[in-house]
Structure formats: structure tokens, C-alpha cells
Amino acid sequence: MAVITFLGAGSVVFTRELLADILSFAELRDVTLSLHDIDPGRLATAEAIARRTAEQLGASPKIRTSLDRRTSLGGATYVINAIQVGMYAATVHDFEIPARYGLRQTIGDTLGVGGIFRALRTFPVLKGIAEDMREICPDAWLLNYTNPMAMNIGYLAAVAPELKAVGLCHSVYWTVRGLCEVIGVPFDAVSYRAAGLNHQAWLMHWTRDGEDLYPLLDAAIAKDPELRRRVRVDMYRSLGYYPTETSEHSSEYVPWYLHHDEEVARLRIPVGDYLRISRENVEEYERVRDGLKAGEPLPIDRDATEYAPQVIHSIETGTMRRIHANVRNTGLVTNLPRDYAVEVPCVVDEQGVRPEYVGDLPIQCAALNRSFASVGELTVKAAVTGDPRLVRLAAQVDPNAAATLTVDAIWALCDELTAAHGELIADELRVPVRR
């Protein structure tokens, strides 16, 4: 029976959702769950969640825990990565320091200086995970949820191309569900296909019984002025394809919005919102922990919508599914950088996760994706080569930073963030550099 290792199991809300979905499948009710976290308190809470979830669902998994990653990887068939290096304190640095320079961010976990430095904190741990998996469980599937997704999958493609690494994100799924609600068409009745980069893919195909549904969206937008106050709708109206991540996210991947006060107001952009979200995540962890200690029942959502449980179930049972996932670009999207990560449709069955060929994206979509990818490529190259200048250049070509700050300010900001994150950044990237 499958052994599923959770790295970063202390991300308790997320772990709770994954466990509920996994154990809701009849064929997975007696899997081995191997939980790992570097925080003993969070690991204990994760174990309590696993045992309570199994009890409430009537499942009988074998549950083991370890503070040692290598022990947790023993015998793994699947490795779910949900680590957050630096936790809330690092997120505060990623927002408060850029804000002093006048740089606005909303989420800061994917692109921009926040995404760059989250990646630089994560890469050393990813490298260790890859090295351990090569030795301990080389045939296991690495199912990554950790952001920045594209940078992390791009980095793994560079340092461990032999690993079966797949990045999982529900942005395409939830985008289509939301759009179906806008036009009043049941989600189960539609066919859809998207491609691009994680958090900036494009809805290329969206139909019901062969009917293109974009005209219905156009009509809804024309009738509702409040819809036109969304960043994604604004982007769609000029680009012709709907982007597959929230307006909060999308606003900081382009140079058009965040440094214009009037656009922030018009499009209701919640600057700095991820700090609130992160605080709420900490509070939710504390509520779950305290509730478990008090013997309260665990709220369980059995929708089985998360991708990792579906992937595991499909590989274990041969049940075919189609999902959108993030993989190395081996020529799948022909006008995006080869060997960097792309988000494409994939078939999942007993053979594993098999990405589908897309070809060229529309030229305007590829143009935006290439500027997005350039930031990630430079960040990955900085980590692989140990060149701290490339960190500054990654920030310098970032669309939001480039539209807001001078070059000198960008370099000074990178210096300050590097110092603030300290030993979480690889030694060679903490060497001072001058222009």
C-alpha cells in the first residue's frame, strides 16, 4: 500500500484538507501517512489531525511522524511538499521592507521581490529534499504545493531533472468554477483547457456542448460595472483571454496597476493583503490545535477537490483524470522558455502524470508570460550558479518593481532583504555586490 510523506505537515489547515480527501477514497483508507515538520509542536498537531480525521472517517491508515526528513522519506511512494521556509516572520520582511521603498505588493509569494526571496529561502531546502529522495525514494512522485510554484519546479528541473516532480495548484479549477457562476452555467457541463505559467495561465478553451462561452462572459461584463472593477477582467478585456489567478495575485505580475493610486482604487486592489492572510493562518492553526486538545470534533470537508489526493488515487487505481499541473517545459509550450516550468493540461492514470502538448500560446499571452518567466529564470540561475548579481537583475526585470523603483533602489532593497533573511539564504548569495 502507498506511503505518503508530508513535508511541512505543520501547515495544519492544508494538511487537514489533504488528509480528508485522501482518506475519503475507499482505496486509500489504509495507506501509510508519514508526517514530517521541523517544529515539534506543529508536528504533534499534524499527528492529532491525522488521527482525528481517520477516526471521524472510519479509516485505518498507519500514521508515523518524525522530525527527521530522511526518516520520513523511508519507503515513500508519494512526497507532498508544503513547506514554508521562514514562516510568518519571513513574510513580514518580504512586505515591510519593500513597502519602505514605496513598492506595493498584494500576495508576494509568486513573483516580484517577495516571490524572489521566498524562492531563495526555499531552494536550499528543495535541494536537500531532492538529494534525499535520490538516495531514499528515487521512484517516488514529488507533489509540490509550495510557492513560488514556477520557480520551485524550474529549480528542480535544473538541479534534479530525474525526479518525478509535479507542481499542483487549483487556480485553473477555481477560475473556471467562478466564471461559470458569473454566466450561470453549471461547472459540470463545461469543457475547459488552459496553459501558460502558474498563476498566469490563460483560459484557452471554455465551451458547453461545443458552444464557446466567452461571449456569455462578455455580455455579463457589459451589464455589470462591478465586474469591470476586477484586475483579471481588465486584463481579459485587452488581452482576449482570461488569466487563471485572482485579481490580487494578477495585479502584481504586470506593470500597469500597483504604482497608480487611481488604478488601485478603481480595481479595489488590496495592497499588502497577504500579511492579513498569513496572520489569519496562524490564528487558524492555533484554533485547530486548541480544539484538538479540548477534544472537539474536527471540521472535515469531503469534497475531494484537492489535486494531490486525486493524483495518488489515479496512479494507485488506474482511474483516469485530467488536471492542470506544473511541469518542466520539454517543448510542451513552444513559445515559452524551454526547461522552465509551465502549467498545462495533464492526464493522470496508472502511468503517472502525463503532460499534454500545447504548442504556441497567443502571442500577447506568451509575451506577458515571458516577462514573468524571466524573473524566475534569473532567480533559478542565481541559485544554481551562486551569483548574487543575478538576484538583483531578477528584481530589476520584475514588471512591478521595474515600473515603481529606480535601479539603485532595487539593488538597495535586495541588499536589505538579503540581510534580513540571513542564514535562510545560501551563503554564496549573501556576498555583497556593487553595480
Active-site residues: which are they?
170
Please tell me the distance from the alpha carbon of residue 357 to that of residue 29, in angstroms, as a whole number.
34
In three-state secondary structure terms, 108 is: coil
Alpha-carbon torsion, ordered 208, 237, 355, 130, to 10 deg: -140
Spacing of C-alpha 21 from chain mean position: 19
414, 395 Cβ separation under 8 angstroms: yes
Q: What are phi and psi of 319, to 5 degrees?
A: -70, 120
Please tell me the distance from the alpha carbon of residue 239 to that of residue 224, in angstroms, as a whole number.
19
Nearest Cα to 6, choosing from 99, 108, 144?
144
* Most distant CA atoms of the chain, gap in Å: 62
Cα distances from 197 to residues 160, 267, 369, in angstroms, run 20, 23, 7
Nearest Cα to 203, choosing from 226, 174, 163, 162?
174
Tally Cβ neighbours within 10 Å of residue 225.
8
Nearest Cα to 129, choosing from 110, 115, 143, 116?
143
Tally Cβ neighbours within 10 Å of residue 434.
6
